Amino acid sequence: MAAEIRRIEIGAAAAAAAVAVLYLLIGFGTLDIGSSADGSAGDLLGFGLSSGGVFALIAVVLLVVRRRWIWILIALFDALVIGVYFAAAELRDPPFELWGLLIKFLQLLVFVAVSYLAVRGPHRGTPTRHSSRETTVSATSFR
C-alpha cells in the first residue's frame, strides 16, 4: 500500500508541476490562450506567475507532506480552479482553447489523485515515510 501511495503522490506532483510550467509559459506569452472577450488586456504575466507558483508549491507539498487534510485542501482548491475556468468561459475569446483544456485535464488528474489519497491514504497510527518506527504501538500493549 505504501508503494502505491507513493506512486500516486509522485504522479500527482508531476501533473501539478506540468500545470505550473504551462501557467508560467502562458504568463511569459510563450503559449497563446486568446484574449478577453471584451478586448481588454489582462495581466497574463501576473496570472501566469501566481498560478504557476501555486501549482509548483502544490507539487512540492505532494512530495514532502503526507497529511489527509492537505490532500483535501488541494482537492477543494483544484475543484474551485476547474469550476472557475468553465464558469468564466464566456469572458474569453475563444471560450476554450487547447492549453486551457490541457491544464484542466492535468488538474483533474491531480484532483482524482488527491481525492483517492484522502480516502484511501494512510490512517492514524499507520507508519508513513516520515516515521522512524516500522510498527505502531497500541494502548493494549502497555497492559
Q: List, for residues 97-120, the tens digit of each pLDDT value.
A: 899 999 999 999 999 999 999 999
pLDDT(14) > 50: yes
- pTM > 0.85: yes or no: no
Q: Which residues pair with 35 in a beta bridge?
A: 93
pLDDT band of residue 67 (cuts 50, 70, 90) is very high
Residue 96 has φ and ψ, to the nearest 5°, of -135, 140
Q: Domain tally for the chain? A: 1
What is the Cα–Cα distance from 22 to 89, expressed in whole angstroms? 19
pLDDT per residue as tens digits for the range 90-102:
887 888 889 999 9
Residue 127 lies in a domain: no
**Domain span at 71:** 2-122
CA distance 113 to 107: 10
> Is the per-residue pLDDT at 141 higher than 60?
no
Residue 15 falls inside a structural domain: yes
